[in-house]
Structures are given as structure tokens and as C-alpha cells.
């Protein structure tokens, strides 16, 4: 169904409604721009709504869903942190000052701390912020608060999709990045095979969530970077979920199942499957590396 809602990226005036149902109760719907193809939630959160959501509500939804605490979150996300360290490690040097935006309980910064000169984070959720400070990670309130600093390496892992004004946000981040410094961004890929190739209804109603205001593909992420004045970047395809997880979605339309059939599937099959999806950008994740000119 076509609707005259203005695309927040290219400002085209027609979008189609892609989904009226989100993971949690919400007055918002998912739209797709007829021109640039961006998927986004509308109506957008105001800046105040966005701030309150992250200071309070997001954490409540999060902890009621997972029954977690900052310490448990730290433990459970260490494997992810090690994976992101693998992806970035050739770009990390002993003399680098590093900043992670949306660092949660600090698992990634704690993982790289011994390999770089210094680590700081930005985190607005109060309990997560306190946890980071307790483990010795300095936390800034916002990008604005560190506007006089310059970092060699900046990380934004699964953050950009939460931001209501990504173009201006990225411009602000680029200002605190040193010349020749690098910004690493990871976002979910909306061209995920579970959505685009297999079109699983249960996955669709799980995938779109009130917390994610934008759903990027390689093309719309590139366009977002260029609109923010960023010209030097690479976007790499990455598949994080495995074949067993995909079969679980197909059979039960629910998350889970990772590793279940590993007794039967060979490593060659698993990595071939991931590579097939990556080659066509039907993978679940986009990993972007931006260099400041
Ligand atoms: Zn558009």
C-alpha cells in the first residue's frame, strides 16, 4: 500500500507499508521508500522520546526479555566481542585511543583494552554506565561531551539502526575521529536471507522492533554515508547465524537452534553456506570500515 510519508534519507514523498506488526506493541509501522529503498519506522521518535527510551524503557524491555543484569550481559556477549576483535584486530595498534559508542556493559572495550593505548565509551543507560565505570572504563554522556577529543579508532556496533537522525549523528562522530582514523560500524542487514530469500512470516514479525528506527541494506547504508559526507568506506558482508538456526526458523518460526545439527553438518558445509549468503549480500550483518580523509 502506497503512502505519502517522506523518506528520512532521500526525502522522496512516497513509501510503501512493509509491515504493520512489530516485535513489541507500538504505534509505528515499517515503511519502504519507493525511491532509495530505505526501510524505516514511522512516525519517528522525537529526540526526547529517543533519549528517554534509551535511558529507561529500552533497558526494561531488555531485562524483562532476557532476565539479565549488566554483569550477565558482559559474560554472555564476550564471544561476540571476541568476534568483533577478530574483524578489527589488524587495524588496532598499541598507540590507538579508542572510543565505542553504545558500549553497553563494556565487553568489547574490555576485550581490546590490552591491545591499544586507551578505551572509553559512550553509554546512556544508567546501570550499564555504572557497570563500565566499575570495571575502569571511562564513560562520556554523549558525542557532544567529547567534542574536543580526537580518537584514532571509533566503534559503533549495532547502534546506527537505533539512531533517528543518522546523517547528522555520523557527521558529529566524524568530527571526533582523527585524520586517517577509522570508524567501524556493524548493523543488521535487511537483505537477510530469512527475510528476503525465505520470507518467513515469524521472522518478519520478530525482526522489526520499535528500537530499530532504520533497516539498512548495503545500498542504503552507502547512501547514508555519502549523505553524511563520507566518501572513503568499504562494506563487508558477514553471516553470523548458522545453518541450524536458519532451519530452526523455517521449522518453528522462532529464534534459536544455533549449532543443533553440527554433528551432521561438516565445517565445510557450514562455511560454504555462510559464504553463499555473503557473496550475494543475503547475509545477516553488514560490517563497514570508514577512513577519515
Ligand atoms: Zn528514500
Q: Is the pLDDT of residue 123 over 70?
A: yes
Q: Where are the domains of the chain?
A: 46-291
Mean pLDDT of the chain: 93
Question: Could you tell me the pTM of the whole model?
Answer: 0.94
Domain 46-291 of CATH type 3.40.50.300 = no
Residue 40 Cα, ligand 1 centroid: separation in angstroms?
Answer: 10
Q: 218 CA to middle of ligand 1, Å?
A: 14
Ligand 1 centroid vs 106 CA: distance in angstroms?
A: 34
Task: DSSP for the chain, please give it.
Answer: -EE----TTT--S-EEEEES--SS--S-EEEEETTT--EEEESPPPHHHHHHIIIIIHHHHHHHHH---HHHHHHHHHHHHHHHHHHHGGG--TT-EEEEES-TTSHHHHHHGGGSSEEEEE--SHHHHHHHHHTT-EEES-TGGGTT--EEEEEEES-GGG-SSHHHHHHHHHHTEEEEEEEEEEEE-TT-HHHHTS--HHHHHHH--TT--EE--HHHHHHHHHHTT---EEEEEE--S-HHHHHHHHHHSSS--TTTTTTTS-HHHHHHHHHHHHHTT-SSEEEEEEE--
The Å distance, Cα 289 to ligand 1 centre, comes to 23
Residue 10 Cα to ligand 1 midpoint, Å, equals 4
* 79-96 confidence digits (pLDDT tens): 999 999 999 999 999 999
Ligand 1 mean position, distance from CA 293 (Å): 27
Is 75 or 46 the better-scoring residue by pLDDT?
A: 75
- In this prediction, residue 57 has a pLDDT band, given cuts at 50, 70 and 90, of low
Q: Which pLDDT value is given to residue 50?
A: 82
Amino acid at each position: 500500500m502506497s503512502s505519502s510519508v517522506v523518506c528520512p534519507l532521500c526525502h522522496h514523498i512516497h513509501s510503501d507499508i512493509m509491515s504493520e506488526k512489530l516485535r513489541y506493541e507500538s504505534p509505528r509501522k515499517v515503511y519502504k521508500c519507493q525511491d532509495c529503498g530505505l526501510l524505516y519506522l514511522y512516525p519517528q521518535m522525537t529526540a526526547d522520546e529517543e533519549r528517554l527510551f534509551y535511558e529507561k524503557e529500552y533497558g526494561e524491555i531488555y531485562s524483562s526479555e532476557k532476565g539479565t543484569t549488566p554483569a550477565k550481559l558482559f559474560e554472555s556477549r564476550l564471544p561476540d566481542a571476541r568476534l568483533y576483535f577478530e574483524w578489527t584486530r589488524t587495524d588496532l595498534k598499541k598507540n590507538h585511543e579508542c572510543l565505542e559508542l553504545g558500549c553497553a556493559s563494556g565487553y568489547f572495550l574490555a576485550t581490546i583494552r590490552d591491545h591499544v593505548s586507551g578505551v572509553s565509551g559512550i553509554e546512556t543507560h544508567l546501570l550499564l554506565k555504572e557497570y563500565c565505570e566499575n570495571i575502569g572504563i571511562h564513560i562520556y554522556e554523549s558525542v557532544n561531551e567529547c567534542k574536543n577529543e580526537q580518537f584514532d579508532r571509533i566503534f559503533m556496533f549495532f547502534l546506527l539502526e537505533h539512531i533517528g537522525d543518522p546523517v547528522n549523528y555520523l557527521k558529529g562522530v566524524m568530527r571526533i575521529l582523527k585524520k586517517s582514523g577509522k570508524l567501524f560500524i556493524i548493523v543488521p542487514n535487511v537483505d537477510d536471507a530469512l527475510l528476503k530469500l525465505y520470507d518467513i512470516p515469524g521472522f518478519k514479525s520478530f525482526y522489526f522492533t520499535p528500537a530499530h528506527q532504520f533497516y539498512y541494506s548495503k545500498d542504503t547504508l552507502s547512501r547514508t554515508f555519502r549523505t553524511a559526507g563520507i566518501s572513503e568506506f568499504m562494506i563487508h558482508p558477514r553471516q553470523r547465524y548458522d545453518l541450524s538456526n536458519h532451519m530452526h526458523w523455517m521449522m518453528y518460526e522462532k529464534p534459536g537452534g544455533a549449532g543443533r545439527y553440527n554433528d551432521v553438518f561438516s565445517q565445510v558445509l557450514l562455511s560454504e553456506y555462510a559464504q553463499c549468503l555473503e557473496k550475494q549480500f543475503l547475509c545477516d550483518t553488514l560490517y563497514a570500515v570508514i577512513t577519515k580523509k
